[in-house]
Structures are given as C-alpha cells and as structure tokens.
Amino acid sequence: MDPSGSLTLDQVTQSLINDVNILTDYLVSAGHPLPSTDRDTPIFTLPDDAPSSAHLARYRILDQAQSLLQLAAGPSEYLSYLQTDYQDIGCLRWLCQYGIFSLVPLQGAIGYADLAAQAKVSEVKLKSVVRMAITNGLFVEESPNNLAHSARSALLQTNPSFHDWASFSMDAGALCAFFMVDADRKWPDLVDTCHTAFNIACSTDLPFFKYIGENSERHRQFSGFMRAMTSGQDVHLNHLVNGWNWDKLGQALVVDLGGSTGHASIALARKFPDLTFIVEDLPEVIAGGPKYLASQEDAQSLRTRVSYKAHSFFDPQPVQDADVYFFRMVMHNWSDDDSVRILTHLVKILKPGACILIMDVVLPDPGTMPASKERLLRVRDLNMLQVFNNPERHIEGWKAIFSRVDKRLVVKEVGQSAGSVLSIIELSLED
C-alpha cells in the first residue's frame, strides 16, 4: 500500500486477496478450520501456536476490511455508520439485561412471541432490538419470526465469562466513554481516581477498585470480565510463556506481584519445571489462590512449586532472594507516583543478576503497527483515562518512571509477541 496513506479500492482489494491466501494456506496446513459463519465455527480464528506471519496477515485483513468499508461508504456516510456503533452497544446492553442469550435455545429456534413472554418484555421492542443485533452477527432468523443463535451469540450463552464481559462493558465501560466530556467539564484540573468519567457513569464518589469491592454483583461481573479478557488471544498467557527467555534462568525463584490467584505463575510453572513461584496479592485476593490451584488437573505436581503470600506491593518486599519479580497487567492501574513507590521497594532488595519484568501496554507511535491492533491499544488507553485518570504509557513514559526510581534502573529489552497487544519490559540494575 501507498505509505502516504492514499489508497484505492483496487489496491486494498489486491492486498486483501494476498493476505487471505496467506491466512488460508496456513490454516489448511495446520488442519485448523477456516473461518465461516457456521454456528460451530471456532471462537478463535488462529490457533495459539500460529506463526507471526499468520497473525500479521490476519491483522492486515482486518485493516483492509475496514478500509474497504470506508472507501465504499465515502466521507458523507461516516456519521451514518457511526450511528450503528452506539445502537449496537445499546442493543447488547438490552439483550444482557433481559437474559435473551440464555433464553434462546442452543439448538433449534424460538418464536419472538414465546421469547418475549419468557423475558417479560414487549415483543415489538424485542424484534427491533434483536433485528438490529442480527445485522452485527448476533443471532439469526432461521425462518420468519423464529430466532436462533449465531456463533457470536452462542458464545455469550455458553461462556459465562464472556457474558460478564459484555454486561460489565455495556453497563460501565460504554457509559464511561460517553461521560468523558462531562468529567472534563466538571473537574478540569483534578486527575485523581475519584474524579473520573467512571465516577459519573456509576454515580459514585469511590475510586474504581473500592467501588467494585463494595458491590458484589459488579465484583462478580468484573471477575468474569477479567477471566474472559485474559483468555483472549491478544492478551493470552502464551505471550508471557513464549515472549521471554525463561529458560535462561535455570533453577530460579520468581515472584508474581499482583498475581491474583496465580493463573500466570501456573502457566509458567507448567512449561518451566526448574522455576519456583511465589504469588503475591492482597489478603482477600490471595485467599482464593490455593483453591484455584487445587482445581487444576495437575495440581499435585504444581503444589510444590507455586505458593501464595499475602502482600501489598506498596509495602517493603518480604521476598528478597528472588531472581525475577514480575507484574502482568498491573502497573497500568497505577499513577506514575504510585508506580515509582512500587518499584522503589524492589530496587532496594534486588540482588545482583536479578531482574524486574513488566508485561503491560506500551503505546505505539501512530501508524507503526496494523490499525486494527493499534485500535485495541487506543481503547485500553482511553479506558484507563476514563476510569483512573491515568492513560496508558509510551516507552518514554515508562522510562521516565524508571529514571525516577533509580538512575541505575535501565531497560534491557522490550519485546512483543506477534498477536499480542502487551509488551514485556525487562529491567535490570547497572553499576
């Protein structure tokens, strides 16, 4: 494509054909089903171990599909198609609120009249909402007035975590985006975590995590949302397992800070039998760790190498002989000042040869990666801004934090796996 950004329908179409061939050839050779509109199509287009060439081809296809839409619509229809985005959001929220995904049978179909009666909603409204959702791939009408699941809608019935993601995002995330301008007008000079778009959207004076902790239903939804997010391919644990050279450590101790119930440490322990892990988090979070570990099929072999310790990373670090201290999707929740406090505790006890790993978002310069991938990072950037008044960071922002902690704390490496929206920053102390 023209690096100046000037594109034609023919150019985009030819590039699209080339990348579809690359993706299809790989899927066929790997024995993985081709993407289709079938009800039972795999929820992920690519298998976890797909090579970078396949991931990049898929991202380019997403870019090209968006470009074709923009070129075919022309500038005059930008606002027309923008309306479909917010109506899709409104419809998804409505469908979650009234339990429509669970009321439509996984096999067969249900008439609108019966569905409306079971959901206790107006049949007229139900038809309007569902038929809008159908245009975005949610549900299908197999015959007139009889509704059945599509692959997308079936996922929201069969996977509770994805349903929680939908509910939480529609009830909180979408409203945060809408109220961003209201928060800027109301608190133009305040950047703390109690004066955000989230506070307006949820009518609370509490910061996000305190609000979640005091609202049991929101906490349940948020937990499901996080489970679904971490199962997504762009933040999959495989990018942690395969994205850094863990083998070079040999026999080593790793501390997983803010590690929740230890899903990341467990994934690493399975792949690297020479590593031992201590998962640290707040007492109320870490309490669920042993139960989660016990639920794993290979719990017996993991129990000797994965342990749990109640600890706040704002306090001095009690484990002072570890070889690696790592944070996965943790630091972006905290301001620059808080991040400095967290890392300072580690630098004070970091033994020679030990390192700190941060797996988190590193924002790219505009246009330096596929637009479809960049858009996902920009979404995360705005989410953080709207909820915490703390946007995601470019590498310069990360380095500024490290410099404040200790001038000897340097970035040794920044890596990003193909298909991942997270980068791994390796830090070490240099004399």
Give the separation between CA 288 and CA 261, rounded to whole angstroms. 6
**What percent of the chain has a predicted confidence (pLDDT) above 90?**
78
State whether residue 348 is helix, strand or coil.
Answer: coil
The residues annotated as belonging to the active site are 332
Asked if the model's pLDDT at residue 347 lies above 80, the reply is: yes
Res. 374: pLDDT tops 60? yes
User: Structure tokens of 287?
Assistant: 């309490």
- On average, the pLDDT of the chain sits at 92
Q: How high is the pLDDT of residue 40?
A: 85
3-state SS assignment for residue 205: coil
Q: Is the pLDDT of residue 5 over 80?
A: no
**Residue range 185-207: average pLDDT?**
94
DSSP state for residue 169 in the 8-state scheme: I
pLDDT at 369 over 90: no
pLDDT digits (tens, 9 = 90+) for 296-307: 999 999 999 999
Q: What is the arithmetic mean of pLDDT over 290-295?
A: 93
The model's pTM: 0.83
Q: What is the mean pLDDT of residues 343-349?
A: 96
For residue 3, pLDDT over 50 is answered with no
Task: Give the mean model confidence (pLDDT) for residues 212-227.
Answer: 84
Q: What is the pLDDT of residue 421?
A: 87
pLDDT tens for residues 126-147?
999 999 999 999 999 989 999 9
CA distance 383 to 389: 9
Q: Could you tell me which residues come within 8 angstroms of residue 289 by beta carbon, excluding any fewer than 6 positions away?
A: 260, 261, 262, 279, 281, 308
Per-residue pLDDT, 209: 85
Query: For residues 126 and 119, what is the distance between their CA atoms, to the nearest angstrom?
Result: 9
Decide if pLDDT at 4 tops 50: no
- Provide the pLDDT for residue 2: 42
Higher pLDDT, 92 or 233: 92
